[in-house]
Amino acid sequence: MKPGIEWRQPRASAENQQFAGDLHAALSRAPKAISPKYFYDETGSRLFERICELPEYYPTRTELSLLRTHAADMAAQFGGGVQLVEYGAGALLKVRLLLDALPRETVQFVPVDISGPHLLAACDGLAGDYPGLAIQPLVADFTRPHTLPPCPRGSRRVGFFPGSSIGNFTPAEADAFLRLAAAELAGGGLLIGIDLVKDEAVLHAAYNDAAGVTAAFNMNLLDRAARELGAEFPRDGFEHLAFYNPAYRRIEMHLRATRALDLQLGGEIYAFHEGETLHTEHSHKYTVSGFQAMAARAGFRPGKVWIDANRWFAVLWLEA
């Protein structure tokens, strides 16, 4: 760094440093691409909650209605006592619908999430609403090897992975997660929500909402880089891009440079040519039989399936 030049000094937390490192790597590769996990700072999490309420964004309300309608049938697959492990716990809203269908004294709930403060706050709220429920939060990255609390005697371990969150994984990452889950849930099972292949217009609208919330959510990645890392770029030089890629059966989100521009990050300058994108997310869509085949390869036996009348979203029971 040259003397005499004043640098804005953003706070350098461990999380910031990981974001900075990953963003440098993302901007150095061709094509430019970053993990969607960096969407979810406080602003991004709030924007995602607004996405879930959008008229065009059908997955959340469709899955909630499946859980509401079939919770008892789903719970019946679990058997007697259950250690219920939620992967990537978030706000702990969906699991309440399952808990309502289970005798409280037969459940130990183990939400797993990488964000400690978020997880503990959500657990406080849950404990207040479900007195007597055993809750054992685990702060961990569930895609990496981790150790769950021992399963209570006479209980089965059941995983819960709603929201089609698995769609963010590449096929290789999804396979790795399913193998890890099949191993740690052995003798129990996994209840998982998946978004289904459907009419492209419906998919397109869900990721290109009229109110522009998804665009703001996407753009928040760069806004966050500006806030936390001091990144500098012409904000109006980037636009939201989301489209269905039928070859990969996935929605892709990108931030596209509308003209040639430079993005400055920590003393490095990254050039974008006109039309060049930073790939920010993929969201895979599945068929029920295709997903069941992938789960079977990873060690699960496919069980009951619940699908809405439009066949837009499915919740699958997989025996481990």
Q: Which residues bind ligand AVJ (CB under 6 A)?
A: 51, 59, 163-165, 167-168, 207, 214, 281, 283
Q: How far is CA 217 from the centre of its chain?
A: 14
At 297, which amino acid appears? R
For ligand AVJ, which is the closer residue by CB, 108 or 283? 283
If the CB atoms of residues 41 and 319 are measured against ligand AVJ, the closer one turns out to be 41
CA distance 197 to 49: 23
Query: Of 188 and 193, which has the nearer Cβ to ligand AVJ?
Result: 193
Shortest CB 90 distance to ligand AVJ, Å: 9
Residue nearer to ligand AVJ on the CB measure, 218 or 292: 218
Q: How many helices (H) and strands (E) does the chain have?
A: 9, 14
The number of residues in the chain equals: 320
Angle (nearest 5°) at CA 236 between 4 and 272? 70
Q: In this complex, which beta carbon is closest to ligand AVJ, that of residue 252 or of residue 319?
A: 252
**Residue 301, beta-bridge partner list:** 319
Residue with tokens 């996405």: 51
Token pair listed for 129: 């609403």
155 vs 164, beta carbon nearer ligand AVJ: 164
In whole angstroms, how close is the CB of 167 to ligand AVJ at the nearest point? 5
Measured from the CB of residue 269, what is the shortest distance to ligand AVJ in angstroms? 29
Residue with tokens 């929201």: 163
Report the residue number whose CB is nearest to ligand AVJ.
283
Pairing of strands 107-113, 138-139: parallel
Find the shortest distance in angstroms from Cβ 260 to ligand AVJ: 27
DSSP state of 196: B
In whole angstroms, the minimum distance from the beta carbon of 60 to ligand AVJ comes to 9
Smallest gap from residue 193 Cβ to ligand AVJ (A): 9
State phi, psi for 91 to the nearest 5 degrees. Answer: -85, -5
77's CB contacts (< 8 A; 6+ apart) are 189, 191, 303, 304, 317
Query: What Cα–Cα distance (Å) separates residue 227 from each residue in 74, 86, 159, 223, 224?
Result: 43, 31, 36, 6, 5
- For residue 217, the minimal CB distance to ligand AVJ (Å) is 6
Cβ closest to ligand AVJ, residue 62 vs residue 168: 168
Q: Are 249 and 197 in contact (CB under 8 A)?
A: yes
CA atoms within 13 A of residue 258's CA, in its CB half-sphere: 9
Minimum distance from residue 85 beta carbon to ligand AVJ (Å): 19
- CB nearer to ligand AVJ: give 111 or 163: 163
